[in-house]
Structure 1
Amino acid sequence: MRKRLRQIFVIGLALSLLGIGVPAWSEDDPRSCNDQLPAGTPSYVVCRWMATPEEALEIAAFWLNDDGQNMIDSGPPDRLEFTCDQPGDQCPTDSEGDGEIHDVGAPDVPGAEDGGTPECQNGEQCYVDGHGISAADRAAAEKTPAGQATQAGAQTGMRVWIETELADDYKAGTLQEAAKKVAALAATQPGVVGIRFSSQLGYNQTFTTADEIDKFVTEATTALHTLVPGKKLAVHTVVPALGCGGNDACKTEMTKKYPLLDPERVGAWLTSGLIDQLSLDSGRLATEYATWQIDAAEAQRNQSIEVRARAWDAYGQIAYEDASFATAGTAQLTEEQATKAISDRIAMPLQEDAAETVTLWSRWQNDQGQVSRVYGEKWAASTTWDQLKKLGTIRPRLATIYDPANPEVDVATDLKNLSEVFGQVYLHAA
């Protein structure tokens, strides 16, 4: 509970800069601690003491009275104390380390001064290498736009993901080759968090059956885990039924319209351990539910409640994704519009505790070649961008997608500017 309260408090501080808030909630409960919640806490966030302050004082007194004798008595009997400072003590001298006491935070490996990367003994690599990825594979990956951006992105302080699409390769029978290429990108830089290997999974027309999707997810994750063990894996999709809430007619229609996007089936990718992150698109929330008089705000709230009820965050990370901040051409949101958009599409998902991160498309191009941006062209001034910069406290929870093959100016400039708002970046690899 304390962790959740701290998360909500930090978010509240940042969002208060924009005047964003939601009604508080209270309950006539003797164990309620809702009065400890910050102003603007949403109504469904509930605080309840496991031990009231008075009870906590009694518990502390029990263990601390009489110089903590109760604590001492609770320990294992006949404890063996061996300090190596008494005559006759014999302690090993061949264990790891240099035998010296170091200050907290001080480097204990030569070459790790000032937070740098320690030099490895005998020149070996200091990080887990990919299995089956050769030096030639990594060298080739480093020369690609995504490979160069991976190295540049790590220097900005952003957490870097590799974003690609393996579904088409799976259909073409070339999954292993494609997985090896993207795994080589992830292996070129130790700081790469993971790989997002599919987008709009089940929503687009790539697959025709749910079993085929499950097979793809299983084979893709198996291949990637083998090639780059330890890297996180993610997919992006949309689950329209979640926006219906308790409206059974809506659920029936959404299930019929999107048969491949059953919530239980999608959730199983998380609960079975196949993926570590599930990104849910919010692009359909504004229009999909008009038949049942469910507006965008209610649809999003329904989705958040459904996600929490399924405890998906106990198995992996949930991200919300939104492309609607970016506007085409020179059109820009006003300050009022930008503030409302931030409140509705960033503040609410985080305050509802359904998503750990929110991914914004900061720049994208449609089939006609028209470019939409959150910031101004060539990084010209933008009201929306200025408002997003005010969310510095929750920067680690904000992510974006970047295509290094189509930069706004150049990769270094673009990533530096993006790092002013976002704590994570998905680098697109063709």
Structure 2
Amino acid sequence: MARWLEGPAAFDTAIARLGKLAKRPGVVGFKISDEIGYNDGLGSPEDATRFLTQARTALARVAPGKQLLVDAIVPELGCLPWRGTNQLGCAERVRLKYPAATAAAVEGYLRAKLIDRLDLSTGLLDDSTYGKWGTSKREAQVDAWNHVKEQGWPQLTILQARKALAVPNGYQGNADEAAADVGTYIDVPTAAGARAVDIWTWRQQYQGNTVSLLGPDLSPNPLWTALVQQHRQGAQLLTHMTPSAMPTDQRGFDQECALAASAFTAVFVAAGSG
């Protein structure tokens, strides 16, 4: 599998470390931002543009030829502001709250050629909100991704989708829920031009719990079965692996990597972990 490296937060430390890691086999690029402009200290499009420009310049110097990936949640897309007054009000509120993560801001980064690959979340709302608006989460996802397609984003970058489906003790949904998740978060984006889908995460410590796609015994669940089938049908799926959360014995490590390869074509590896 190809590997994407996620750098540590401190900029100078990250650049120096990533320059060394770029020489490792299989490394195709670096993810340098998690949900850009969304509670990350970048309070304006200008702040985000400066950060991306500095990162691109520095990485071109220490890791020429490697791609730069950013992931983003654009919450106004989930509001569907082109649909009506209530939806527009929803979008205006989140634009004020996250000015560096608006659709206009993200499109600006793309048009400035600051991002080689974009992992995009449309910031879908809860089912009850969409029910009040006379639609569903799946239909909202179709609408949001069609809007992104109409805006030309697939022509501005290598566009990918993203969705967190890991929970403590592995995915807990039944077959119908897994089919709905795959339909909403994989089928819809890829039909609208997403080249791959980032499914978070293989296994990781998060908010005091170990979250994962599979349970501790690595036995399959309905989501895993669906992901493997998607992979067999040609879907490009990615996931995240944290080295410190992987088995320390070679046999266990190899087993998990082989299992992951049955569903995923590439992985993000946390460069700041052991």
Q: Same-fold call, TM > 0.5? A: yes
Between Structure 1 and Structure 2, how many residues are aligned?
261
The answer as to 2:256 corresponding to 1:421 is: no
Query: Counterpart of 2:110?
Result: 270
Letter paired with 2:173: L
1:103-182, aligned counterparts within 5 Å?
Answer: 158-165=1-8, 168-169=9-10, 175-182=11-18
- Residue 149 of structure 2 contacts residue 193 of structure 2 at CA under 8 Å; is this kept in 1? yes
Q: What per-residue deviation string (whole Å, max 9, x for no partner) do you get for residues 299-342 of structure 1? A: 32232022112211112111111112x23236632222222221
Query: Counterpart of 1:287?
Result: 126
Q: What per-residue deviation string (whole Å, max 9, x for no partner) do you get for residues 375-423 of structure 1? A: 2213133232123212233455111111112115744332211100011
Return the offset for 1:360: 0.5
SS at match of 1:375: coil
- Residue 270 of structure 1 contacts residue 277 of structure 1 at CA under 8 Å; is this kept in 2? no
1:186-335, aligned counterparts within 5 Å?
Answer: 186-189=22-25, 191-245=26-80, 246=82, 247=84, 248-282=88-122, 284-287=123-126, 290=129, 293=133, 295-324=136-165, 326-329=166-169, 332-335=172-175
- Residue 320 of structure 1 contacts residue 355 of structure 1 at CA under 8 Å; is this kept in 2? yes
The higher radius of gyration belongs to 1
User: Compared with structure 1, are the counterparts of its residues 186 and 411 closer, same or farther at alpha carbon in structure 2 (3 Å cutoff)?
Assistant: farther
TM-score normalised over the length of structure 1: 0.56
- Residue 171 of structure 2 contacts residue 212 of structure 2 at CA under 8 Å; is this kept in 1? no
Once the two structures are aligned, what percentage of the paired residues are identical?
26
**Distance in 2 (alpha carbons) for counterparts of 1:382 and 1:212:** 42
- Residue 141 of structure 2 contacts residue 184 of structure 2 at CA under 8 Å; is this kept in 1? no
Deviates more, 1:293-302 or 1:313-322: 293-302
SS at match of 1:181: helix
SS at match of 1:160: strand
The correspondence for 2:198, drawn from 351, 359, 371, is 359
- Residue 74 of structure 2 contacts residue 102 of structure 2 at CA under 8 Å; is this kept in 1? yes
**Distance in 1 (alpha carbons) for counterparts of 2:114 and 2:170:** 42
**Distance in 2 (alpha carbons) for counterparts of 1:289 and 1:238:** 21
- Residue 79 of structure 2 contacts residue 124 of structure 2 at CA under 8 Å; is this kept in 1? no
User: Compared with structure 1, are the counterparts of its residues 275 and 205 closer, same or farther at alpha carbon in structure 2 (3 Å cutoff)?
Assistant: closer
Structure 2 residues not aligned, in runs of 5+: none
**Distance in 2 (alpha carbons) for counterparts of 1:205 and 1:182:** 21
Between 1 and 2, higher relative CO (CA 8 Å, sep ≥ 6) is seen in 2
The correspondence for 1:350, drawn from 184, 187, 190, is 190
User: Compared with structure 1, are the counterparts of its residues 262 and 392 closer, same or farther at alpha carbon in structure 2 (3 Å cutoff)?
Assistant: closer
User: Compared with structure 1, are the counterparts of its residues 163 and 407 closer, same or farther at alpha carbon in structure 2 (3 Å cutoff)?
Assistant: same
Return the offset for 1:242: 1.8
1:54-69, aligned counterparts within 5 Å?
Answer: none
SS at match of 1:421: coil
SS at match of 1:187: coil
User: Compared with structure 1, are the counterparts of its residues 231 and 427 closer, same or farther at alpha carbon in structure 2 (3 Å cutoff)?
Assistant: same
SS at match of 2:71: strand
- Residue 322 of structure 1 contacts residue 359 of structure 1 at CA under 8 Å; is this kept in 2? yes
User: Compared with structure 1, are the counterparts of its residues 300 and 206 closer, same or farther at alpha carbon in structure 2 (3 Å cutoff)?
Assistant: same
Letter paired with 1:417: L
Letter paired with 1:384: L
User: Compared with structure 1, are the counterparts of its residues 354 and 251 closer, same or farther at alpha carbon in structure 2 (3 Å cutoff)?
Assistant: farther
**Distance in 2 (alpha carbons) for counterparts of 1:164 and 1:397:** 23
Q: What per-residue deviation string (whole Å, max 9, x for no partner) do you get for residues 50-100 of structure 1? A: xxxxxxxxxxxxxxxxxxxxxxxxxxxxxxxxxxxxxxxxxxxxxxxxxxx
- Residue 18 of structure 2 contacts residue 63 of structure 2 at CA under 8 Å; is this kept in 1? no
**Distance in 2 (alpha carbons) for counterparts of 1:330 and 1:229:** 38
Query: Counterpart of 1:48?
Result: none
Return the offset for 1:427: 1.0
SS at match of 2:245: coil
TM-score normalised over the length of structure 2: 0.86
Structure 1 residues not aligned, in runs of 5+: 1-157, 170-174
**Distance in 1 (alpha carbons) for counterparts of 2:170 and 2:13:** 41
